[in-house]
A = this chain, B = another copy of it.
Amino acid sequence: MLDIAEVARRTGLAPSALRFYEKKGLLTPSGRNGLRRTYDPSVLSRLTMIICARRAGFTVAEIARFLGAGPADEVTRADLVSKARRLDEDIARLVRMRDSLDHAAVCTHEPLVECPDFKRMLAP
């Protein structure tokens, strides 16, 4: 069993963030030692997922919904798929943005912002 400080250390999250996630339903300590939370080591991989999802732009509320998904929860499963399609769009946008920035590195255009190549890559 891990205490909150240990979980914080191993995940890189602040203890306050762990309590915050718990309040939002992302996390449940497996028990208490007196008042103090104790965590099963499996919380670490759950937190790895949470951290990854957060960095991918999911809100805490979204993650809470997805983590609460039961096996036969087709609604949520459909949500995951539609999320995947939205990620396709996000990925495409990031790729265009990255290509624009890479172009910027070699572009000699006077105000860079006016470069047609640069601008063209930044359509909606």
Contact = CB atoms under 8 A, between A and B. Distances in A.
Contacts of A51: 124
Interface in A39-54: 45-46, 48-49, 51-53
A2 interface: no
Interface residues of A, number: 43
B84 A46 contact: no
Contact of A70 (B48, B67, B88, B111): B111
A122 B52 contact: yes
A24 interface: no
A112 interface: yes
Given A52-B93, A80-B105, 17 more contacts: A48-B122, A49-B119, A52-B97, A52-B122, A52-B123, A52-B124, A56-B97, A71-B108, A77-B112, A80-B104, A81-B101, A81-B104, A83-B101, A84-B105, A88-B98, A90-B94, A91-B95
